[in-house]
Amino acid sequence: MIETALVALSLNRFRSHTDAQFELSPKPVVLFGANGTGKTNVLEAISLLAPGRGLRRAPYAQAVQRGSDQPWAIHAVLAHPDGEFQIGTGLTPSANGQSRRVRIDGQNASAGALARLVRQVWLTPAQDRIFSGPRGVRLKYFDRLVFSLFPGHGRAVNAYEKALRNRQRLLDEGRADPAWLDGLEQQMAEFGAQIHQARAETVRRLRLEIESRAEGAFPKADLAISGHEVLASFTMEQEPKIEATLKDALAQHRELHAKAGRTLHGPHRADLAVAWGAGEMPAADCSTGEQKALLVGLSLAHARAVTADAQAPPPLILLDEACAHLDENRRAALIEEINQLQGQAWLTGTDRSLFEAFGDHAQFFELSDVGIVPRSCG
């Protein structure tokens, strides 16, 4: 039984959509149609019903419909384990131009309040080469997984990075005032320990979900945090030791970091190591199809991990073109698992036939130049 779902959605002046309206049931939603008809734009709008800049990570102003001088707005009716909520977000005039506003049941609210109502899991084509791409891109992807389980993770990362930049600026300028550096390194140690703790717990929960399933259509990924040897050996239960160890490492390596022009120790140097479990082959060495299968399997494990969190509602699952490069058996396995999740899934694709395995267990909308049209299941 689906416990979290959008039962209505409206997009106003959002990218290609002037006034898009969806009346929905809690079933999975399939959006199909030719490229350029705005399918991904709908998923992006839903992703903005959560803190952050959405699945495209674009500046908010970029989402304004081309040619419009009016701000965009998104509104939804959310069916939730605690009842039904009216949620929305959009741009509003401010002293600096336009800023984002969040509303819940007609009242202004914080992004944190929205995070307590809505958790999201998403997979986009931009993530297809996440395993073989740059470490920094992979770390941002990983931190998004962490954020879905620990909403405070984003604040810790932002605070850590701010202290990191300030410390490095002092080192670069030769202004090595011990008191200033001590204070910044203490902040980095405190927030760095929180970051590492949340990441380690996320990996633990993902492993549990992966290992709880029999070998099937999607490979069992082997996961680990790598890339920063100072913290690599610490587990969830050792946050005070993590903080002390990180603070000592920062203090001891000031000269090295000044010469290097960057901080070489800390959780910002971390990486998510992923391997094809059975053969322990690094994901980066797998074929494109194998990497896609690993990524889909990891996304499903992530959705289950969020669902298993007693402190959070089941997530909305946004899968953009996820079926495009899967064979028939893997598409059927993906759809079977989606049907078992307690959060509503939204899927896009150019060809409706990709989603035949849903039968009458999904709702279909065709997007074209003439608009958005509900289609029957048959």
Predicted confidence at residue 2, as pLDDT, reads 81
In this prediction, residue 312 has a pLDDT band, given cuts at 50, 70 and 90, of: confident
Q: Where are the alpha helices (DSSP H) in the chain?
A: 39-47, 111-117, 135-149, 153-173, 178-211, 239-252, 254-260, 288-308, 328-340
Q: 10 Å Cβ neighbour count for 57?
A: 12
Task: Determine how β-strand 281-282 pairs with β-strand 271-276.
Answer: antiparallel
Cα distance between residue 361 and residue 353, in whole Å? 14
Tens digit of pLDDT for each residue in 28-44? 999 999 999 999 999 99
- Indicate whether 234 pLDDT > 70: no
| Mean pLDDT, rounded, for 276-295 | 86
- Indicate whether 185 pLDDT > 90: yes
- Indicate whether 1 pLDDT > 80: no
- Indicate whether 210 pLDDT > 70: yes
In this prediction, residue 169 has a pLDDT band, given cuts at 50, 70 and 90, of: very high
Cα distance between residue 113 and residue 109, in whole Å? 6
- Indicate whether 377 pLDDT > 60: yes
What are the extents of the domains in the chain? 1-119+313-378, 132-287
- If you average pLDDT over every residue of the chain, what do you get? 90
Q: Write down the residue that tokens 């299968």 correspond to.
A: 293
CA 113 to chain centre: 17
Tens digit of pLDDT for each residue in 62-103? 898 888 878 999 999 999 999 999 999 999 876 666 789 999
Query: Would you identify the CATH topology of the domain 1-119+313-378?
Result: Rossmann fold (3.40.50)
Predicted confidence at residue 95, as pLDDT, reads 61
The percent of residues above 70 in pLDDT, for the chain, comes to 94
Cα distance between residue 341 and residue 308, in whole Å? 11
- Indicate whether 233 pLDDT > 70: no
- Indicate whether 235 pLDDT > 70: no
In this prediction, residue 278 has a pLDDT band, given cuts at 50, 70 and 90, of: low
- Architecture of the domain spanning 132-287: Up-down Bundle (1.20)
In this prediction, residue 232 has a pLDDT band, given cuts at 50, 70 and 90, of: low
Instruction: Classify the C-alpha dihedral 10-12-14-19 as positive or negative.
Output: positive
pTM here is: 0.91
